[in-house]
Amino acid sequence: MAARVAVYAGSFDPPTLGHIDVIERGAALFDEVVVAVGHNPAKSYWFDVDQRVALVRASVMRPNVRVAPFEGLLIDFAQAVRASVLLRGLRALSDFELEFRNGLANRDMCGLETLFLLTDPQHIFVSSSLVKEIALNGGDVSRYVSGPVLAAIATRNGPDQG
């Protein structure tokens, strides 16, 4: 029987505990979860793609989770890793409209299904953008990111900026 492979994609700039929660829960449901760290050359990131890949790897210690960078269409990446499902986390109703539309398009283009996991309520308001805003203003983000991510943010912001 073929392995059940899911892809969980995002920019993960930086990865939050909400991301990690979805990855961990997905890893309990599938034989393998491939975390696809997106790289769009037209976008500006806090951390480059190799750093973001390393931060996700350092934050998730499950043998059935693989982390890899990707560019281009997610469906092409998913087909290359033989995934049958795209895994997505939903924080709020506002997330659903875009994710629903994308899920329908992916299914239409190649038959790839999308599975939505509801975000753990303790992480419902946490986003990478929020973490960056708090960190840039000297706030404590330790409750929102893993230890390796916290250290990377501290290094990026300098010792006096948290």
Q: How many residues does the chain have?
A: 162
CA distances in angstroms from 93 to 16, 20, 100, 118, 129, listed in the order given: 20, 20, 11, 10, 18
In this structure, is residue 142 part of a structural domain?
no
Please indicate whether residue 43 is annotated as part of the active site. yes
Beta bridge partners of 86: 7, 114
Give the CATH number for residue 45. Answer: 3.40.50.620
Domain encompassing residue 87:
5-121
In this structure, is residue 143 part of a structural domain?
no
Q: How far is Cα 122 from Cα 63, in angstroms, rounded to an integer?
A: 26
> For the chain, how many structural domains are there in total?
1
In this structure, is residue 80 part of a structural domain?
yes
In this structure, is residue 127 part of a structural domain?
no
User: Starting from the edge strand earliest in sequence, which strands make up the sheet with 113-118, in order?
Assistant: 65-70, 32-38, 5-10, 85-90, 113-118
Structure tokens at 102: 């994308």
In this structure, is residue 45 part of a structural domain?
yes
Which of these is catalytic: 91, 107, 132, 156? 91
Which of these is catalytic: 11, 59, 128, 146? 128
pLDDT, one tens digit for every residue, the chain (162 residues): 678 999 999 999 999 999 999 999 999 999 999 999 999 888 889 999 999 999 999 999 899 999 999 999 999 999 999 999 999 998 877 778 888 888 888 898 988 999 999 888 898 899 999 999 999 999 999 999 999 999 999 998 654 444
In this structure, is residue 63 part of a structural domain?
yes
Which of these is catalytic: 11, 19, 123, 146? 19
Q: Which residues of 136-162 are buried (b: 16+ CB within 10 A; e: fewer)?
A: eeeeebeebbbebbbebbbeeeeeeeb
In this structure, is residue 137 part of a structural domain?
no
In this structure, is residue 81 part of a structural domain?
yes
Please indicate whether residue 128 is annotated as part of the active site. yes
